[in-house]
Amino acid sequence: MQKLKKLCLLITTLACLNGCTASVLMPPLPGPTMIPSAMGSLYTAYAASVDERGFQTIVEDELLEANIQSKILHQKDLEVLGVSTYSYNGHIYIIGQYDQKEDFDKLRMIVKSSGKVNSLTTFLFAESEDATCNAAEDYILQSEVKAALLDDDSVWGTNIAVKSVQCNIVLLGRVGDINEIEQAKRTAFQIEGVQTVKSFLRSSNHNKYRLHGKKVAILK
């Protein structure tokens, strides 16, 4: 009974956090669900069917994402644009744009102070005034990619989160097998305007989620 009470408290807190933060993190993507994220998406039974995590772990990932995203938004000396935070079994992914290289250290400190984190991967593009792809184009592009994934019967598109940064597509989430990962990448790349496709997708056939994960900082 005590565990049930704690779980109900976690769910209530999650609903509040999602309701408060969804409007300021990034525009909602089309489609019913993606992987759990601070974007305010709800995790359906269908999405959970290919997720080896327990329900409590899913909720904890949601809370961890919301906590980190909130800290990023409120860090006054951190200038990052359109950053989105994702968590899977405590493995954190931060996707977006950065202003200066010092931002990476600040992001690491934020993540380090946010509780139980197994690894951090940052995939950030340098902010550029000459960028040929603006925020509006990114939103349209990621919407089109998400729609294409949902229309592809060979891919569990509801489990895939899509992020576009300077017209470079990033895919995150859990799918059934390695073939679906490759198909999702092909589907995304076929959309007009996509420059590159980076996949952080994982197959549900893997029992462990890269427990040896290292901190990775990719500069573009």
Determine which of 45-54, 71-80, 115-124, 190-199 has the lowest per-residue pLDDT on average.
45-54
Query: Of 76, 18, 24, 23, which Cα lies nearest the Cα of 43?
Result: 18
Give the model confidence (pLDDT) of 142-165 as tens digits. Answer: 999 999 999 999 988 788 999 999
Tell me how far apart the alpha carbons of residues 99 and 16 are, in angstroms, rounded to a whole number: 31
Average pLDDT over residues 174-191: 93
DSSP letters along 98-121, please? ESSTHHHHHHHHHHHTSS--SEEE
Cα–chain center distance at 144: 17
Kindly list the domain boundaries of the chain, sorted by start residue: 1-220
Q: Summarize the confidence of residues 94-101 as an average pLDDT.
A: 90
Identify the pLDDT of residue 26: 35
Instruction: For the chain, report the end-to-end CA distance as a whole number of angstroms.
Output: 50
In this prediction, residue 110 carries a pLDDT of: 94
**pLDDT average, residue stretch 27-42:** 36
SS3 (DSSP) at 170: strand
Averaged pLDDT of the chain: 76
pLDDT higher than threshold 70 for residue 14: no
pLDDT of residue 136: 92
Average pLDDT score over residue span 108-124: 92
Q: pLDDT category, 52, cuts 50, 70, 90? A: low
